[in-house]
């Protein structure tokens, strides 16, 4: 996570009204910046683990799984502790999230001519 601890990351995301949680690969809840309903952590870790398993069969590995919904994007990202679950509702939130994770958006790269 680019050196940022889980609780600090969740705090930064909450400042921008971004709901996020860190879930263990086994489905255990490690930390959250919102009140999660029971069972969400199991579904989230299962979705990431299944996506990762499918990609591994193709010789790849999942770093991030994005699910598009009517509300926005549900992002599941592999972190040291497990899976970071983030609900992104706007483009600004997505850009902020990517910046925290140390990832430059493709549009920004294209504008710089890279």
Q: pLDDT tens digits, residue range 44-81?
A: 878 878 878 887 888 887 788 888 989 899 998 888 88
Within a domain: 112: no
| Residue 44 is assigned to a structural domain of this protein | yes
Give the model's pLDDT for residue 105: 58
Does some domain include residue 114?
no
* Enclosing domain of residue 74: 6-101
Any domain includes 109: no
pLDDT at 104 (0 to 100)? 65
Q: For the chain, what is the domain count?
A: 1
pLDDT confidence of residue 28 = 85
pLDDT tens-place string over residues 82-111? 889 999 999 999 999 999 988 765 554 444
Q: Does 31 fall in a domain?
A: yes
What CATH number is attached to the domain comprising 85? Answer: 3.30.450.30
pTM over 0.85: no
What is the CA angle 17-21-2, rounded to 5? 90
């Amino acid at each position: 996570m680019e050196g940022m601890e889980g609780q600090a990351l969740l705090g930064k995301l909450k400042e921008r009204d971004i709901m996020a949680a860190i879930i263990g690969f086994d489905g255990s809840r490690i930390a959250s910046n919102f009140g999660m309903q029971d069972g969400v952590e199991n579904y989230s870790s299962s979705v990431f683990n299944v996506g990762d398993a499918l990609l591994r069969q193709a010789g790849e590995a999942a770093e991030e799984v994005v699910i598009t919904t009517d509300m926005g994007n549900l992002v599941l990202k592999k972190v040291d502790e497990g899976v970071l679950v983030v609900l992104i509702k706007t483009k600004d939130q997505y850009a902020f999230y990517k910046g925290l994770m140390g990832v430059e958006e493709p549009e920004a790269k294209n504008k710089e001519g890279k």
